[in-house]
Amino acid sequence: MSDQHSFETLAIHAGNTADPLTGAVVPPIYQVSTYKQDGVGGLRGGYEYSRSANPTRTALEENLAALEGGRRGLAFASGLAAEDCLLRTLLTPGDHVVIPNDAYGGTFRLFAKVASRWGVEFSVADTSDVAAVRAAVTPRTKAIWVETPSNPLLGITDIAAIAGVARAAGARLVVDNTFASPYLQQPLALGADVVVHSTTKYMGGHSDVVGGALIVNDPELSDELAYHQNAMGAVAGPFDAWLVLRGIKTLAVRMDRHCENATKVVDLLTRHPKVTQVLYPGLPEHRGHEVAAKQMKAFGGMVSFRVAGGEEAAVGVCNRAKLFTLGESLGGVESLLEHPGRMTHASAAGSPLEVPGDLVRLSVGIENGDDLLADLTQALG
């Protein structure tokens, strides 16, 4: 499919070729491990074993590449599986990475507890500060890692500016685009080398699948990642790939509603006497507002806020919510809330990535906006 089509059209049609045998408009779930060969080495369509390639996964990978404007997409069993494959492809013992001072706790754990054991070093920097990132770079820096918006403090990084820092250092720029989704932001077009997704979140969109993805433009890096994907084996299964592919078809309309509801929630929170700070890049007073307005189509469905009364008050808000479901993860059609310090970011406790105890994170869903406001009002008390 031509990349000249609109995002909404690509989301529905890219990779979704009608089945040549039956004409089915939805790609089949190829629940298969191996494939009949027409003589030794006589592969049909290049398929020999489903760790190496599977037609359902291929459909998803083609779709992911189209949506991010990349040459190649690779689908994994989880977001962390995608990150692990990327680290092992880009880095060798002794290499250095600059990581954000606000990032998903699992990403920090991967660097601090796993990659560090085989000799990868990292420095923490405020990636919204270009000078701070530049100062953190060393002669051994091979990658700069960015989340924008970041998790859970909703920080914004100027992707194009940091891409310039990375190029000057001879390093790769990796952008985790999970919070924005490709509908709101396309990092490759802004100079990133690799885009990372937890497809569990907005891409799947229904809290019923776990998956991850990498999207790249560089052909050599693409081949290296594909080699490691096969060699390491943490690939997306066919049913999981099918679920993500199905979810992506409604990504654009879902994201419009997520953003609309988030704006209503932010308006309520900014006026509530028990809320001391609202973290949302759509607010004009947000430190990264101008950059976000420049590189994003809209400001997303994630909102964080701080509660008067400290950590116990924040936990109380989480426990009193009824329509907002208390749970980890994000990006589903249903609204979720959590206490990052005790839940998703517990692994960052005591580190430079530790989050405030009075923080509550919302994943604003696509329910009726007034119902969500009523629930937050009663939860805040």
Q: Which residues of 160-179 are buried (b: 16+ CB within 10 A; e: fewer)?
A: bbbbebbeebebbbbbbbbb
Rounded CA-CA distance 22/321 in Å is 48
Q: What are phi and psi of 311, to 5 degrees?
A: -65, -45
How large is the C-alpha radius of gyration of the chain? 21
Annotated catalytic sites, by residue? 51, 104, 176, 201
Residue of 48, 104, 173 lying closest to 331 (CA atoms): 104
Q: Which residue has the tokens 């049909």?
A: 44
Helices (H), 43-104: 55-68, 79-90
* Number of DSSP helices (H) and strands (E) in the chain, helices first: 13, 12
User: Which residues 6+ apart lie within 8 Å of 179 measured at CB?
Assistant: 147, 148, 149, 150, 151, 154, 201, 202, 300, 302, 330
CB atoms inside a 10 Å sphere around CB 321? 21
Q: Counting Cβ atoms within 10 Å, is residue 152 exposed (0-12), middle (13-18) or buried (19+)?
A: buried
* One-letter identity of residue 104: Y
Rounded CA-CA distance 330/206 in Å is 10
Residue of 78, 293, 57, 86 lying closest to 192 (CA atoms): 86
Tokens, residue 162: 């940091």
